[in-house]
C-alpha cells in the first residue's frame, strides 16, 4: 500500500474577485522508500501541494476538495493540534531557506534534542547522544563540539545539513523537501542532494522532492510528476519522463534546458508563459502554447491517460485524433 | 590584431567592510578590506561573448559592475574601445555604447514608471531622438524587437511576468544602440522554459546587431550555451580562461573539473557522482597560497604557500601549480 | 475618468471599506475638517469679531443643562464667545498650523533623507548625527526652543505679526528628523536596486536619479509618517498654545481654548475646556487610527 495517497486534491483561494483554484484535482501516491520528484515552473502549484500535505497552507488558501491519506488514515481534515503531532513525527519538512526552519535564538543541539524528545520520548542523555549521531550522519564536522553552536555560526550549506537532521531526527516516514538546494551554490547543492539520497535510502523514508531544477530530479527521483497550472501534466518513472516525455509540455520543458553535454545553436523554447490563475484557458490549460494542439484540446479537459511507460494528461494519447 | 571592445588587465577591487568608524575605534579594530576581485585580466573581441562563471562570492558580479564603470578598480586598468574606461564614460557618445541587463526582473524596472518611459530613458538621456513622436515610434519598434507588443508601453511593470520584464529590460538596454552589453545573471531568476526564450532572444540580437557580451552566470550549462570564451572565477581570481568548447571538453583546472562533475544534469538520470567537498571560504579571510587548495584533491605544500601565476598552454590560461607541474 | 474608475476598483479602497475603524475615523476627521474649513459659513457666530462679543454673554452653560440658552448650544467662554463657533474656528487654526508645519517638515526631512541615503559617507554621517541629537529631545522642547530663539531674535512687533508662521516653523523644525530617517532608510534600500543601477550605467546625474527614480518609490512610508505626525503636530500646537507661547487669545486655536477653559475647570464652568478637549482628542485619535490603517494598507507584506 502506498504510504502517501493524494486523491483529487483541490486548493482554493477566496479573493474579493471570486475564488481562484490553485490546485485542481491532483492525485498521486508515494510508496515507502520512494522518491517522487514534483517539477514545474513558478506558479504551477508544486509548493502548495507540499504545504497542503503538511497542513501548512497559508490562509486564505484552503483544501476545497479531495483527500490526503497517510498510511491509510486521512490527514487533511485533522485539527491543528493533531496535525502538529503528525508533523515532525510522521512527516518531516525541509524548505528552501534553512533560516525559516531553524530558530535563531536556540542552539541547534537544543532544537534537535527538543524534537527528538517530543516525538520519541527519550531521556536527556539519550536524546543528546542521538542528536550528535544525527549531526555526524549529515556530515557536520566535529559534531560533538558544534552541537551547542547557534544557526548563524554555520554556513549556508552546513545549515541545510542541520535542517535535514532536524527534519529526519524524529524518524518520519515521509519527507517533504521543497526546493532544498535552490539557495545553495552548485558544488554545495551536489553535496546536499547526495546526502539526502543516502540518508533517506538508509532509513527507508519516502520523499516528495519539490523543485524547478530538472537536473536535481533526474539524479534523485524514482518517479516524477510534472505540474502545469495547478494540475499534473505527466507522471511516471523519471527515466521515461526525462528521455521520452509523453506530454508536449514535459517535452518542451526538457528541451528548453541547456545541456552540459553538448551545445546546440538554439534551445527549444515554449512560447508564451504559464497562465495566471485568473485566466486559465478552457480545455487543456496548455493548449495556447502547445505545438500539437487540436480542436478537442480547446474545449475538453484531458485527465491522465496511459502514455507508454508514463501517464499524461493529453488528448494525443486518447487513441489518435 | 583582433578588434577588442573591452579589456581588463590586472583589475583588483577592494571593499571596505570595516564596522562604522565609532564602533571600530571603540573596539580597537583595524580597517578590514575584502578583496572581491584580485588581478583579473581578459579581453573581449567584437561580436563575441565572454562568460564569467563561478559560485557566490567569487567576484563575478563585481567584475560586471567594474566593466560598466559602476565601480572604479582599486588597481589595474580597464579599457573600452581602446580608451581608458573612465574617459570613455565621460563621453556620452562612447558611454551610450555600453549598457547592462540585470538579474532580478522585479527590481530592475522602476515600478512607478510606465514601460514606454523605462525603455525611452536612455534615448532621452543621450538625446538620441528629439521629438516625442520619434521616441514613441522607436520604443514601439524596440518592444517589437524583443517580442512584446508596441502597445505594451502603456502598461506598468507589475502587469508583466518575469520573462516579459526581462524583455523590457533588454529593450531598455538596446535603446541606446549599444555595442557592448554586460549581462549579470540575466536568466537566473527565470523558469527554464522562459530562460530558453530569453537566451534565444539574446543570441538573435547578438547576431542581428553584432553585439559584444560580457555574460555573468553561475549556471555552467547556460554559460556553455552562450559563450565563445569562458573564464572560471574562484574567490576573486580567474582560475581558468579560454575557448568555451575547449574548456568544457578538456577542463584542466581541478576546480572546473570538480564543478563539471558536480552539476546535476538531465543526462545523468540515476547515476551517482562524487560531489566537491568543502565550501567556498570567506573572501574576507581567504586561505594563503592558491585559494582553492583547501578543497583541492591535488593540493600540496606549494599550493598552500604560493599563489599560482597564470600560465598559458594551448591557448588556455590557467592558474594552478598542479597543471603547471604536470600533476593534473 | 479612467483613473477614477481604477481607484474605485482598487485594493486600496477595498481595504478601506472593509475596515470599520478606518471608515469611522475618516468620518470623524471629515466632520472636524469640514466644520473647520467651512466655519465662516456654518458657525453661528464669528468669535474673532471682537466687536460682537459681549461680556454679558460670558459663562453661559450649554443648552442641554439648566440655565442653558438655546442660542449657544454648548455654552460660551469667559469672553462671551459662542463655544461651538470658537471650536470651529479654533480647529481651523489648529489644522492650518499642523498641516503647514508637517508639509514643511516633510519637505525638509525628505530632501535631507534622500541626500543622506543616496550620497552616503560623510554627508550621511553628519546629517544623521544632527537628526539623532535632535531626536533625543522631545519635539515639543525643540519647538519651545525654536520659538524662544525667534521671539528673542525678531523685533517684537514683527514677531507678533508673524506669530502663526513662527509656530509653523518651530513645529516643522521639531519634526523633520523622523521623515529624514525614514526616507534615508528607504533610499538605502532603493539605491541598491537594479533600476537605480540601470540609471547609473547610462550616466544620469545623482540629482536626477534621486528625484525621478528614488523619490517616487520612497513616498509611501512618508505618507504614513506624515499622517501620524499630523496628529502630533496638532497636539504640539495645542501644547504650545496651552503653555502660552502659541497663538494669542484673540484668535484662539483649540489649544488656546483649552488653556482658557482650564482656569475655570474647578469653578464649575467645565464646558469651556471639556468641549475643545474632546474635539482635539477625537481629531488626533482619528488621524492616528487612519495613519495606522494607511501603514497596514501600504505594506504589501500584511495584505
Cβ neighbours of B126 in C, within 8 Å? 202
pLDDT at B203: 94
pLDDT band at A255, cuts 50/70/90?
A: confident
In sequence order, what are the beta bridge partners of A224? A37, A236
The residues near A177 (Cβ < 8 Å, ≥ 6 apart) are A93, A94, A196, A207, A208, A209, A210
Tally C-beta pairs within 8 A across A and B. 140
**How is residue B141 written as a grid cell?**
519598434
Cβ neighbours of C201 in B, within 8 Å? 68-70, 98-100
Residue C99 to residue C96: CA distance in whole angstroms: 5
The residues near A229 (Cβ < 8 Å, ≥ 6 apart) are A43, A44, A45, A274, A275, A280, A285, A286
Here the CATH number for the domain that contains residue A75 is 3.40.50.300
pLDDT at C1: 62
Cβ neighbours of B266 in A, within 8 Å? 214-215, 218, 242, 254, 257, 259
Q: How many CB atoms lie within 10 A of CB A93?
A: 23
Contact B225 A188 (CB under 8 A): no
Is pLDDT at A286 greater than 90 in this prediction?
A: yes
Domain carrying residue A51:
4-257+301-309
> What average pLDDT does the segment B214-242 reach?
93
If one counts the domains in chain A, the total is 1
> Does the residue A316 lie in any domain?
no
Q: What is the pLDDT of residues A84-114, one digit of tens each?
A: 888 888 999 988 877 778 888 999 999 999 9
Tens of each residue's pLDDT in chain C, 303 residues: 667 777 777 778 888 888 899 999 999 999 989 988 888 888 888 877 777 777 777 777 777 777 767 777 787 777 778 888 888 988 988 899 999 999 999 999 999 999 999 998 888 989 999 999 998 888 888 888 888 888 888 888 887 778 888 889 989 998 999 999 999 999 999 999 999 999 999 999 999 999 999 999 998 889 889 988 988 898 888 888 888 787 777 778 888 888 888 888 888 788 888 888 899 999 999 999 998 888 888 765 544
- CA C49 and chain centroid, separation: 26
Cβ neighbours of B110 in C, within 8 Å? 195, 213, 216-217
Edge-to-edge strand ranges of the sheet holding B98-101: B98-101, B180-184, B212-217, B49-53, B229-234, B237-243, B316-318, B311-313
Neighbours of chain C (3+ CB pairs under 8 A): B
Mapping DSSP to helix (H, G, I), strand (E, B) and coil, where does residue C182 land?
helix
Contact C203 B99 (CB under 8 A): no
Percent of chain B with pLDDT over 90: 66
Residue B255 to residue B237: CA distance in whole angstroms: 12
Partner B contacted by A266 (CB < 8 A): yes
Residue B118 to residue B165: CA distance in whole angstroms: 11
> Does the residue A276 lie in any domain?
no
Closest residue, chain C, to B102 (C-alpha)? C194
Distance from CA of B58 to the nearest CA of C (A): 19
> Does the residue A190 lie in any domain?
yes
> Does the residue A152 lie in any domain?
yes
To the nearest whole number, what is the mean pLDDT of chain A? Answer: 89
Q: What is the pLDDT of residues B12-66, one digit of tens each?
A: 999 988 777 777 778 887 888 889 999 999 999 999 999 999 988 889 999 999 9
Partner B contacted by C138 (CB < 8 A): no
Cβ neighbours of B195 in A, within 8 Å? 256
**How is residue A75 written as a grid cell?**
490527514
Contact B110 C200 (CB under 8 A): no
Cβ neighbours of C200 in B, within 8 Å? 70
Are the CB atoms for C116 and C286 separated by under 8 Å?
no
Q: What is the pLDDT of residues A206-254, one digit of tens each?
A: 999 999 888 888 888 999 999 999 999 999 999 999 999 999 999 999 8
Partner A contacted by B143 (CB < 8 A): no
pLDDT band at B106, cuts 50/70/90?
A: confident
Contact B218 A266 (CB under 8 A): no
Q: Which of A3, A30, A167 is nearest to A87 (CA)?
A: A167
The partner residue sitting opposite B89, judged by closest CB among C194, C203, C204, is C203
pLDDT at C198: 94
Cβ neighbours of B96 in C, within 8 Å? 202
C-alpha dihedral (C295, C296, C299, C302), degrees to nearest 10: 160
Percent of chain A with pLDDT over 70: 99
Partner B contacted by A62 (CB < 8 A): no
Neighbours of chain B (3+ CB pairs under 8 A): A, C
Partner B contacted by C203 (CB < 8 A): yes
Cβ neighbours of A34 in B, within 8 Å? none
> Does the residue A288 lie in any domain?
no
Closest residue, chain B, to A154 (C-alpha)? B279
Cβ neighbours of A212 in B, within 8 Å? 191-192
Q: What is the pLDDT of residues B288-307, one digit of tens each?
A: 899 999 888 888 999 999 99
Cβ neighbours of A248 in B, within 8 Å? none
Are the CB atoms for C118 and C188 separated by under 8 Å?
no
* Substitution target from C199, C202, C210, C222 for chain B, most B beta carbons within 10 A: C202
The partner residue sitting opposite A219, judged by closest CB among B203, B218, B271, is B271
The partner residue sitting opposite B102, judged by closest CB among C198, C216, C217, is C198
Report the relative pairing of strands B33-45 and B4-16 from DSSP bridges: antiparallel
Distances from the Cα of B132 to the Cα of B123, B154, B177, angstroms: 11, 14, 18
**How is residue C33 written as a grid cell?**
475638517
Residue B193 to residue A36: CA distance in whole angstroms: 22
Contact B111 C197 (CB under 8 A): no
Contact B108 C202 (CB under 8 A): no
Partner B contacted by C202 (CB < 8 A): yes
Query: Which of 182-221 (A) contact B at CB < 8 A?
Result: 185-191, 193-194, 212-216, 218-220
Contact B112 C204 (CB under 8 A): no
Cβ neighbours of C194 in B, within 8 Å? 102-104, 107-108
Mapping DSSP to helix (H, G, I), strand (E, B) and coil, where does residue A25 land?
strand
Q: What is the 3-state secondary structure (H, E, C) of C253-267?
A: CHHHHHHHHHCCHHH
pLDDT at C300: 56
pLDDT band at B276, cuts 50/70/90?
A: low
Residue A108 to residue A126: CA distance in whole angstroms: 16
Q: How many CB atoms lie within 10 A of CB B15?
A: 16
pLDDT at B275: 66
To the nearest whole number, what is the mean pLDDT of chain B? Answer: 90
> Does the residue A130 lie in any domain?
yes
- What H or E segment, with its residue span, contains residue B167? helix B162-174
Contact C203 B125 (CB under 8 A): yes
Amino acid at each position: 500500500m502506498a504510504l502517501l495517497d493524494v486523491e483529487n486534491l483541490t486548493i482554493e483561494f477566496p479573493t474579493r474577485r471570486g475564488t481562484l483554484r490553485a490546485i485542481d484535482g491532483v492525485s498521486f501516491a508515494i510508496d515507502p522508500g520512494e522518491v517522487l520528484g514534483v517539477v514545474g515552473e513558478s506558479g504551477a502549484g508544486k509548493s502548495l501541494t507540499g504545504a497542503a500535505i503538511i497542513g501548512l497552507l497559508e490562509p486564505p488558501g484552503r483544501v476545497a476538495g479531495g483527500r490526503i491519506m497517510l498510511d491509510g488514515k486521512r490527514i487533511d481534515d485533522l485539527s491543528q493540534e493533531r496535525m502538529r503531532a503528525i508533523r515532525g513525527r510522521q512527516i518531516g519538512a525541509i524548505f528552501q531557506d534553512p533560516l525559516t526552519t531553524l530558530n535563531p535564538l536556540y542552539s541547534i543541539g537544543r532544537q534537535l534534542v527538543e524534537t527528538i524528545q517530543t516525538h520519541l520520548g527519550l531521556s536527556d542523555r539519550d536524546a543528546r547522544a542521538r542528536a550528535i549521531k544525527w549531526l555526524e550522519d549529515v556530515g557536520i564536522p566535529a559534531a560533538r563540539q558544534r552541537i551547542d553552536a547557534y544557526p548563524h555560526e554555520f554556513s549556508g550549506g552546513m545549515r541545510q545539513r542541520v535542517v535535514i537532521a532536524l527534519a529526519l531526527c524524529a524518524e518520519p516516514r515521509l519527507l517533504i523537501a521543497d526546493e532544498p538546494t535552490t539557495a545553495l551554490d552548485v558544488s554545495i547543492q551536489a553535496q546536499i542532494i547526495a546526502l539526502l539520497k543516502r540518508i533517506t535510502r538508509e532509513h527507508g523514508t519516502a520523499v516528495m522532492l519539490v523543485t524547478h531544477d530538472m537536473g536535481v530530479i533526474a539524479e534523485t527521483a524514482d518517479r516524477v510528476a510534472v505540474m502545469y497550472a495547478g494540475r499534473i501534466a505527466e507522471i511516471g518513472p523519471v527515466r521515461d519522463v526525462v528521455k521520452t516525455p509523453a506530454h508536449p509540455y514535459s517535452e518542451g520543458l526538457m528541451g528548453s534546458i541547456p545541456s552540459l553535454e553538448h551545445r546546440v545553436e538554439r534551445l527549444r523554447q515554449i512560447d508564451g508563459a504559464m497562465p495566471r490563475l485568473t485566466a486559465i484557458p478552457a480545455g487543456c490549460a496548455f493548449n495556447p502554447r502547445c505545438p500539437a494542439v487540436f480542436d478537442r484540446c480547446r474545449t475538453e479537459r484531458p485527465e491522465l491517460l496511459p502514455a507508454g511507460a508514463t501517464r499524461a494528461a493529453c488528448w494525443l494519447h486518447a487513441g489518435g485524433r | 590584431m583582433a578588434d577588442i571592445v573591452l579589456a581588463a588587465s590586472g583589475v583588483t577591487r577592494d571593499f571596505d567592510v570595516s564596522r562604522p568608524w565609532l564602533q571600530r575605534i571603540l573596539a580597537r579594530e583595524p580597517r578590514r578590506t575584502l578583496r572581491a576581485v584580485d588581478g583579473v585580466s581578459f579581453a573581449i573581441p567584437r561580436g563575441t561573448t565572454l562568460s564569467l562563471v563561478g559560485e557566490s562570492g567569487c567576484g563575478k558580479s563585481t567584475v560586471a559592475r567594474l566593466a560598466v564603470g559602476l565601480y572604479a578598480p582599486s588597481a589595474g586598468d580597464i579599457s573600452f574601445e581602446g580608451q581608458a574606461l573612465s574617459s570613455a564614460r565621460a563621453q556620452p557618445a562612447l558611454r551610450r555604447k555600453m549598457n547592462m541587463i540585470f538579474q532580478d526582473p522585479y527590481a530592475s524596472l522602476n515600478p512607478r514608471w510606465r514601460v514606454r518611459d523605462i525603455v525611452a530613458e536612455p534615448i532621452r538621456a543621450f538625446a538620441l531622438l528629439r521629438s516625442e513622436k520619434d521616441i514613441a515610434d522607436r520604443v514601439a519598434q524596440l518592444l517589437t524587437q524583443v517580442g512584446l507588443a508596441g502597445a505594451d508601453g502603456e502598461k506598468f511593470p507589475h502587469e508583466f511576468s518575469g520573462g516579459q520584464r526581462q524583455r523590457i529590460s533588454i529593450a531598455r538596454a538596446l535603446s541606446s544602440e549599444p555595442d557592448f552589453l554586460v549581462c549579470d545573471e540575466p536568466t537566473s531568476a527565470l523558469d527554464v522554459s522562459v530562460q530558453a526564450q530569453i537566451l534565444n532572444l539574446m543570441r538573435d540580437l547578438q547576431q542581428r546587431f553584432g553585439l559584444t557580451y560580457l555574460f555573468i552566470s553561475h549556471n555552467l550549462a547556460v554559460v556553455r550555451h552562450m559563450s565563445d570564451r569562458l573564464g572560471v572565477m574562484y574567490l576573486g581570481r580567474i582560475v581558468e580562461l579560454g575557448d568555451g568548447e575547449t574548456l568544457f571538453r578538456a577542463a584542466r583546472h581541478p576546480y572546473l573539473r570538480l564543478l563539471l562533475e558536480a552539476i546535476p544534469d538531465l543526462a545523468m538520470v540515476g547515476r551517482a557522482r562524487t560531489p566537491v567537498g568543502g565550501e567556498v571560504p570567506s573572501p574576507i579571510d581567504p586561505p594563503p597560497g592558491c585559494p582553492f587548495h583547501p578543497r583541492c584533491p591535488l593540493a600540496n605544500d606549494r599550493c598552500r604557500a604560493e599563489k599560482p601565476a597564470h600560465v598559458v598552454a594551448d591557448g588556455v590560461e590557467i592558474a594552478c601549480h598542479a597543471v603547471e607541474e604536470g600533476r593534473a | 475618468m479612467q483613473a477614477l474608475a481604477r481607484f474605485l476598483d482598487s485594493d486600496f479602497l477595498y481595504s478601506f471599506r472593509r475596515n470599520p475603524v478606518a471608515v469611522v475615523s475618516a468620518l470623524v476627521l471629515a466632520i472636524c475638517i469640514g466644520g473647520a474649513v467651512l466655519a465662516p459659513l456654518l458657525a453661528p457666530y464669528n468669535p474673532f469679531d471682537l466687536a460682537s462679543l459681549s461680556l454679558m454673554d460670558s459663562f453661559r452653560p450649554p443648552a442641554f443643562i439648566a440655565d442653558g440658552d438655546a442660542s449657544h448650544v454648548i455654552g460660551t467662554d469667559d469672553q462671551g464667545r459662542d463655544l461651538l463657533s470658537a471650536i470651529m474656528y479654533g480647529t481651523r487654526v489648529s489644522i492650518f498650523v499642523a498641516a503647514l508645519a508637517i508639509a514643511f517638515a516633510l519637505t525638509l526631512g525628505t530632501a535631507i533623507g534622500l541626500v543622506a541615503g543616496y550620497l552616503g559617507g560623510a554627508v550621511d554621517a553628519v546629517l544623521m548625527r544632527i537628526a539623532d541629537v535632535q531626536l533625543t529631545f522631545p519635539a515639543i522642547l525643540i519647538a519651545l526652543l525654536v520659538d524662544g530663539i525667534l521671539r528673542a531674535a525678531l523685533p517684537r512687533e514683527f514677531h507678533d505679526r508673524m506669530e502663526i508662521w513662527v509656530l509653523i516653523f518651530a513645529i516643522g523644525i521639531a519634526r523633520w528628523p523622523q521623515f529624514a530617517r525614514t526616507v534615508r532608510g528607504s533610499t538605502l534600500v532603493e539605491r541598491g536596486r537594479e533600476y537605480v543601477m540601470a540609471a547609473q550605467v547610462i550616466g544620469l546625474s545623482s540629482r536626477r536619479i534621486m528625484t525621478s527614480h528614488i523619490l517616487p518609490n520612497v513616498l509611501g512610508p512618508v505618507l504614513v509618517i506624515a499622517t501620524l505626525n499630523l496628529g502630533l503636530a496638532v497636539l504640539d500646537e495645542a501644547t504650545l498654545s496651552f503653555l502660552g507661547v502659541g497663538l494669542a487669545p484673540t484668535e484662539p486655536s483649540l489649544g488656546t481654548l483649552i488653556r482658557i477653559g482650564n482656569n475655570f475647570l474647578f469653578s464649575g464652568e467645565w464646558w469651556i475646556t471639556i468641549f475643545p478637549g474632546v474635539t482635539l482628542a477625537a481629531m488626533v485619535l482619528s488621524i492616528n487610527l487612519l495613519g495606522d490603517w494607511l501603514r497596514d494598507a501600504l505594506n504589501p507584506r500584511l495584505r
